[in-house]
Amino acid sequence: MTAVLPSRPQRPTGGRLVDQFEYGLDAPICLTWELTYACNLACVHCLSSSGRRDPRELSTAEAEAVIDELQRMQVFYVNVGGGEPTVRPDFWHLLDYAIGHDVGVKFSTNGVKLDKTRAAQLAATDYVDVQISLDGATAEVNDRVRGTGSFATATRALENLAEAGMKDFKVSVVVTRENAGQLDEFKALTDRYGAQLRITRLRPSGRGADVWDELHPTQAQQRELYSWLLANGEQVLTGDSFFHLSAFGEALPGLNLCGAGRVVCLIDPVGDVYACPFAIHENFLAGNVRDEGGFQRVWQQSELFADLRSPQTGGACTKCAHFDACRGGCMAAKFFTGLPLDGPDPECVQGYGETALAARDAATVKPKSHLDHSHTGPVRGQPTLLGIPAIPSKICDESPLAGLDLR
Amino acid sequence: MTAPAGPDVTAVFDPALPWQKARSVALRPEPFGALVYHFGNRKLSFLKSRTLVAVVEALADHPSAEATLVACGVPETQRPAYVKALADLARSQMIEERTSVPPTTRTLAAGPCTEAV
Ligand code: SF4
Ligand code: SF4
């Protein structure tokens, strides 16, 4: 037999699951599907720079076809987000369609559409999970980031869900410098509604890149967060997103690896498939579900994903004593801060990230996404973090979506 | 989080009894084994070898879990590890005790496990 050198490392037989995952799976475990770029809010750290609907967004029929394909591939559930997914008029239809095709749905919302009727409907539906986004345990902290009135909207939705007897709904928090001290308060708030707390990491993706410097937790906060997770980890979900903190010592429970293109991916509102929801950039674009062969072909055959499906063998991190626990951290966080992908995470708990950030030369251009669906004009209840004065909401202005093009 | 590890694993799982893949569970083949999904409790788990996948699929065709291991050609030295893996799956309700034993003819007809690749 003529020996053909494999161009890519071969998957080993047996061994740890995490090592197997580095070589990818036949279908994703954790697929995020953003249904629309439209959103009633304008959160300062939006990972997808959402605001305005994109005219090329998938039609209802196209979205159904994606669900059919996910069913065939045995993707048992999807994380649906946006934008604000519930402002799509066919959202509730697609929810039922997915559940009817063995694709469970976990969706994230700011709560704008979760009135009592919808809450009751959700409580009566199996295989649906709801996550309400909240980035402060108090209106003051939350609304600076998510916009005036957004705390009230979210807590009203939580009340409605609790009242409807919904089980296992979640409060989803992105940990920032401003709310890192509120973890116990978040826990108390969540318990009050009989919900579960989920906290995840802030990444410099989308508009998050503009505020990352001032909002990402300090080193001291990261250490406190780590201790808090060790103490409370059992009752709190994290999406395994803090695995870089494992380099403090004891590994955090969960999957400690970057799953981008390996076990995770994103289908964006126009059907583009990216390696990760935090990596909306041409460099991580693997294809489109509208292409021949659909999503399955993109997932299983794209060059980009094949490249991502191998263990990291070089770079500074592989020499670090904590590499096995931390794996060099988050690819997206490195990429959007202009750091090399095989070097330390910008929030490396050993401090190498800060050194690397400081060492970027003045000529370093931080990569920017080619997409921006941010609102172009002022938005009702605009966040105040950036020092922009809030647009006062008019009392008679009933619809929070007033003035938005949500066709 | 998965269910707390109870000390009485064996109380839940008796390899001498007939078992089957739980009815609300689906297996998705993967290069290293399979992904296991329970539609009821929405738990996700993994089978880390193809032989284990074959064992789980074949449980329903044999009079006991032990017999399944034999039929699937699991070497004797490895059987304790497989019993432990099955006990874990029983605890997380991925496999369930089978109440209706297959008819004798069917039990006899069940040949060696064909799924192990
Ligand atoms: S790029 Fe970051 S957010 Fe995306 S899968 Fe990797 S570690 Fe997670
Ligand atoms: S140097 Fe790399 S592997 Fe080590 S702790 Fe920092 S980010 Fe993690």
Q: Tell whether ligand 2 has an atom less than 6 A from the beta carbon of residue A127.
A: no
Closest by Cα among A199, A206, A196 to A136 = A199
A330 lines ligand 1 (CB under 6 A): yes
Where do we find the tokens 């059919």?
A: A68
> What DSSP state is assigned to residue B102?
P
- The chain-wide mean pLDDT, for chain B, equals 81
The whole-number pLDDT of residue B101 equals 54
Residues in chain A whose Cβ is within 8 Å of chain B: 11, 13-14, 17, 20, 23, 25-27, 29, 74, 76-77, 102, 104, 127, 129, 234, 253
Q: Which residue on chain A is closest to B29 by alpha carbon?
A: A26
Ligand 1 atom showing the smallest separation from residue A257 Cα? 7
pLDDT at A329: 94
pLDDT at B1: 42
User: With 60 as the cut, is the pLDDT of residue B103 above it?
Assistant: no
| pLDDT above 80 for B102 | no
- H, E, C per residue of chain A: CCCCCCCCCCCCCCCCHHHHHCCCCCCCCEEEEECCCECCCCCCCCCCCCECCCCCCCCHHHHHHHHHHHHHCCCCEEEEECCCHHHCCCHHHHHHHHHHCCCEEEEEECCCCCCHHHHHHHHCCCCEEEEEECCCCCHHHHHHHHCCCHHHHHHHHHHHHHHCCCCCCEEEEEECCCCHHHHHHHHHHHHHCCCEEEEEECCCCCCHHHHHHHHCCCHHHHHHHHHHHHHHHHHEECCCCCHHHHHHCCCCCCCCCCCECCCEEEECCCCEEECCCCCCCHHHEEEECCCCCHHHHHHHHCHHHHHHCCCCCCCHHHHCCCHHHHCCCCHHHHHHCCCCCCCCCCCCCCCHHHHHHHHCCCCCCCCCCCCCCCCCCCCCCCCCCCCCCCCCCCCCCCCCCCCCCCC
CA distances from A52 to A280, A401, A403, A404, B34 (A): 16, 11, 11, 8, 40
User: How far is A39 from A82, CA to CA, in rounded Å?
Assistant: 8
Please tell me the predicted confidence (pLDDT) of residue B11: 57
Side chain identity at A280, as an amino acid letter? Answer: I
Structure confidence at residue A265 (pLDDT): 97
Closest-CA residue in chain A for B36? A76
Please indicate whether, in this complex, the C-beta atoms of A74 and B28 are within 8 angstroms of each other.
Answer: yes
pLDDT score for A289:
98
Distance from CA of A74 to the nearest CA of B (A): 6
Partner-chain residue, chosen from A20, A76, A234, that has the shortest CB–CB distance to B37: A76
User: Which atom from ligand 2 is nearest to the alpha carbon of A247?
Assistant: 5
pLDDT of residue A5: 53
pTM of the complete model: 0.87
Residue A107, phi then psi, degrees to nearest 5: -120, 150
pLDDT of residue B42: 85
Q: Are A85 and A39 in contact (CB under 8 A)?
A: no
Atom of ligand 2 lying closest to residue A351 CA: 6
- Ligand at minimal distance from the CA of A265 is 1
pLDDT score recorded for residue A7? 66
Residue A329 beta carbon below 6 angstroms from any ligand 2 atom: yes
CA distance B105 to chain A (A): 34
Chain B contacts of A102, Cβ < 8 Å? 26, 39
**How confident is chain A (407 residues) per 10-residue block, as mean pLDDT?**
61 83 90 96 94 96 98 96 96 97 96 97 93 97 95 97 95 97 97 96 95 95 95 88 91 84 96 97 97 97 94 87 92 95 94 91 84 87 67 41 41
Q: What's the pLDDT band for B105 if we cut at 50, 70, 90?
A: very low
- Contact between A24 and A275 under an 8 Å Cβ cutoff? The reply is no
CB-CB neighbors (< 8 A) of A29 in chain B? 35, 44
Pairwise CB contact (< 8 Å): A127 & B42: yes
- For residue A26, give the nearest of B1, B26, B29 by CB distance: B29
What mean pLDDT is predicted for residues B70-79? Answer: 95
Q: How far is B39 from chain A (nearest CA, A)?
A: 8
Q: Identify all chain A residues contacting B45, using CB atoms and an 8 Å cutoff.
A: none
Query: Do B30 and A25 count as a contact with CB atoms less than 8 A apart?
Result: yes
How far apart CA A258 and CA A317 sit, in angstroms, is: 14
**ipTM of this predicted structure:** 0.76
Chain segment A376-398, per-residue pLDDT in tens: 887 878 887 765 444 444 434 34
> What residues in B contact A77, CB-CB < 8 Å?
42
**B53, pLDDT greater than 70:** yes
